[in-house]
């Protein structure tokens, strides 16, 4: 009986030591970042021969983990998609994402040429690690779809985003909610 109790005590002590070592290897931090990207919309609109290209610039906040899960992130950003061409189109975008190799995100984009407007909802799937995302999304029209000829039938979009850190802060272990860790 004594040997069983002593072996279970030794076992729990070794697990406690292991947990302490893992906790010290894992570092969590939040970052303020500049968002830069390229977006390619499908060429499914009138007289289009190639995908419509957008340049993206914005600002974001993200929560990262270094250690065993290095590259895992959760973030939110606000950016502007801009198409320069025969008719300039601007898309104000709010997006959220989470990734660790596999990326899942969602964005709301409000397109305008300052004469017409078009709101799209875009679920996104792709790959992402650390400060890079490559995702494909499907633009779901909400309103203004028929009045905005250039965006009326654009469906898919490929997005390549990079996040350039401006400020990096270690996260307090006591803040347990994602919202507290992000903002």
pTM metric for this prediction? 0.78
Q: Which range (92-101, 115-124, 148-157) has the least confidence?
A: 148-157
The confidence score (pLDDT) of residue 71 equals 74
* Cα-Cα-Cα-Cα dihedral sign, residues 114, 118, 119, 121: negative
pLDDT at 172 over 90: no
What's residue 44's pLDDT? 61
Q: Give the C-alpha separation, 120 to 109, whole Å.
A: 5
Interstrand relation of 52-66 and 72-83 (parallel, antiparallel or unpaired): antiparallel
- Please give the pLDDT value at position 143: 75
Contact 74, 178 (CB under 8 A): yes
Going by pLDDT thresholds of 50, 70 and 90, the confidence category of residue 131 is: confident
Q: What's the CATH number of domain 26-182, 2.60.40, 2.40.160, 3.30.499, 1.20.120?
A: 2.40.160
Q: What is the pLDDT of residue 79?
A: 97
Residue of 84, 90, 76 whose CA lies nearest to 133: 76
Q: What is the pLDDT of residue 173?
A: 63
Q: How far apart are CA 124 and CA 95, in angstroms?
A: 10
Domain ranges of the chain: 26-182
- Under the banding of pLDDT at 50, 70 and 90, the label for residue 94 is very high
Separation of first and last alpha carbons in the chain = 53
Q: Which of 40-49, 61-70, 144-153, 164-173 has the highest mean pLDDT?
A: 164-173
Among 36-40, 68-72, 121-125, 136-140, which is the least confidently predicted range? Answer: 68-72
Exposure string of 74-103, with b = 16+ CB inside 10 Å and e = fewer, is: bbbbebebebeeeeebebebebbbbbeeeb
28/31 Cα distance (integer angstroms): 10
pLDDT averaged over the chain? 80
């Amino acid at each position: 009986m004594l040997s069983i109790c002593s072996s279970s005590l030794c076992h729990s002590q070794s697990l406690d030591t292991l947990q302490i070592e893992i906790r010290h290897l894992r570092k969590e931090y939040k970052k303020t970042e500049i968002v830069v990207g390229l977006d390619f919309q499908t060429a499914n609109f009138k007289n289009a021969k190639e995908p419509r290209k957008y340049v993206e610039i914005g600002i974001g906040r993200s929560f990262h983990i270094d250690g065993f899960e290095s590259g895992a992130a959760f973030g939110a950003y606000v950016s502007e998609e801009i198409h320069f061409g025969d008719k300039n189109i601007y898309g104000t975008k709010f997006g959220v994402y989470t990734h660790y190799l596999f990326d899942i995100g969602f964005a709301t984009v409000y397109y305008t040429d300052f004469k017409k407007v078009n709101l799209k909802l875009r679920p996104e799937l792709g790959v992402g690690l650390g400060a890079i995302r490559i995702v494909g999304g499907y633009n779901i029209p909400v309103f203004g779809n028929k009045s905005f000829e250039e965006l009326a039938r654009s469906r898919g979009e490929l997005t390549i985003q990079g996040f350039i850190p401006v400020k990096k802060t270690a996260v307090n272990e006591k803040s347990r909610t994602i919202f507290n860790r992000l903002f």
